[in-house]
Structure 1
């Protein structure tokens, strides 16, 4: 496929075009006036003044035709010009211009646009069905590509965005507890990767992706309750592991401190009993009730 490159169109400032048009109209008017005056005074016959008439009428007609070449380009707007089926250039700077009046002048917006994708149902990297949607911020940077290299650049953005979102969702799990990247745990990294993926896909249409962010992320309704219970169970297990790790560290510190300061000399059996009691007190969900032992361990 031939890639169209944007180029600058040949255009005159509007004031110069206006001077040209007014000059033609004025000159044509003078020619017609001379023709009328000469004929009415009967100084010459009408046939001798026919060239004057033709010049006058031709100049006026040409002036009105050239008036069709005026156009105004607003800020963040482009005009794509084609003449006889050939691309002749684009005007991307705002202002008043005069161009070939026979050229087709197509208006194109260069403003920043938002694309809000629909909620797509896809499978994540672990095979779980999820719902995902994203917001894409984009703008046209090459008016020629957006006009000639794709059929409808707005529809092209929509289709490619949904395709990229599906591809991205299938490469990441919804959530993890082992520190690996996930859709839920790393939204900034996932959004940046989505932006880069879309930039490569939309470059052919002359479109630049400024930002991409996930706007909706959830498990599919048919597994939402089951996955919620699974998440809760995983959270409880992770919390228990932290509690046990902390309790073991506290018991170890207590035994080492008792030994280093010479508070009491415990044999292995008493150490085991103390460790058991401390772990029960620290790990238990309910508040521990102390029991004073007045007898002997033996």
Structure 2
């Protein structure tokens, strides 16, 4: 029926055929429908022509696009609420799917991205003291790859190819931010003191070894007092007065 209508209008009103010209721009494809029937996709840029009667052109850009996923609250693996927003880079690869199978490909990926980010991020802790453990704060390649793979599977029906997913904002939710900051400061203080103590013990061992190598023998109480004084001075970071004066094992004549 559509063919006969186009034929009759072309014979009766020839000038109408001039309306059949249209332009396909670079990085753009034109999905053509005729009386609601899919007729094909024009991918070649330049001036194109199709019979204008009953024709519908749906132009789809194949340029790379970015999408900012607005901040939302997600509960991480440890049960802590965190605020996350992300930036997506994507493009439309299958224009037929984008034009016909979904109402709006850009709205489709926006809705899917929010759900995927929440699901994937809930599988990981925000932070972890062990650097070998995957966490959101480090934004490792493994987490980024999982976000891309999950989102790609969800939006495949729309003809979209997901290029990358990167966190734009990542922080503890305001209601626990102060408490988590205090926790991090306390952990940093403990780690710093542990480093100081480990270094002090190593220095004391070296000092005792050097005294033995120089032939200076100390009694057991003197060794204990020496170790105590050195640890107090090194660990306190301040000058400290020795509790007792360490005497050599060999006494000098009066």
TM-score by length of 1: 0.73
Secondary structure in 2 matching 1:111: coil
Structure 2 match to 1:264 = 216
Partner of 1:207: 160
1:43 aligns with: none
Query: Secondary structure at the residue paired with 1:101?
Result: coil
Does the 8 Å CA contact 2:32/2:40 hold for their aligned counterparts?
Answer: yes
TM-score, with length taken from structure 2: 0.85
Q: CA deviation at 1:61?
A: 2.1
In structure 1, what is the Cα distance between the partners aligned to 2:152 and 2:221? 68
SS where residue 108 of structure 2 aligns? helix
Pairwise CA distance, 1:255: 2.3
- In the alignment, what sits opposite 1:29? none
Q: Distance in 1 between matches of 2:177 and 2:241?
A: 43
Q: Is the 8 A contact 2:222 2:246 kept in 1?
A: no
Measured after TM superposition, the shift of residue 164 of structure 1 is 1.1
Shift in Å, 1:162: 0.3
CA distance, structure 2, for counterparts of residue 58 and residue 248 of structure 1: 97
> Which sections of structure 1, spanning at least 5 residues, go unmatched?
1-56
Q: Counterpart in 1 of 2:195?
A: 242
Moved more, 225-234 or 179-188: 179-188
Pairing partner for 2:108 from 156, 159, 162: 156
1:34-57 residue CA offsets vs partner (Å, 9 max, x unmatched)? xxxxxxxxxxxxxxxxxxxxxxx9
After superposition, give the CA deviation of every residue in 1:75-128 in whole Å (9 maximum; x if it has no partner): 111100112322221122321111233331111111211111111011111001
CA distance in 1, matches of 2:10, 2:165: 57
Distance 1:264 1:100, change over 3 A: farther
Does residue 235 of structure 2 align to residue 283 of structure 1?
yes
1:74 to 15, 20, 25: 25
Paired residues for 1:138-149 under 5 Å? 138-149=90-101
- Bigger CA radius of gyration: 1
Tell me whether 1:186 sits opposite 2:135 in the alignment.
Answer: no
* 1:162-182 alpha-carbon deviations (Å, 9 max, x no partner): 011101220111111122221
1:247 Cα offset (Å): 1.9
Q: For 2:68, which of 105, 108, 116 is the aligned residue? A: 116
> Of 217, 223, 229, which residue of structure 1 is paired with 2:176?
223
Structure ranking higher in strand proportion: 2
**Partner Cα distance (2:10, 2:162) in 1:** 51
Name 1:22's counterpart in structure 2: none
CA offset digits 1:139-198 (Å, max 9, x no partner): 111101111222221111111110111012201111111222211123544333322222
- Give the SS at the match of 1:214: strand
Alpha-carbon separation, structure 2, partners of 1:190 and 1:75: 34
Q: For structure 1, which segment, 209-218 or 264-273, has the greater mean C-alpha deviation from structure 2 after superposition?
A: 264-273
Aligned residues: 239
Q: Distance in 2 between matches of 1:127 and 1:295?
A: 55
Q: Distance in 2 between matches of 1:273 and 1:112?
A: 72
- Point out where structure 2 has 5 or more consecutive residues left out of the alignment: 1-8, 250-254
Over 3 Å counting, the alpha-carbon distance change for 1:88 and 1:58 in structure 2 is closer
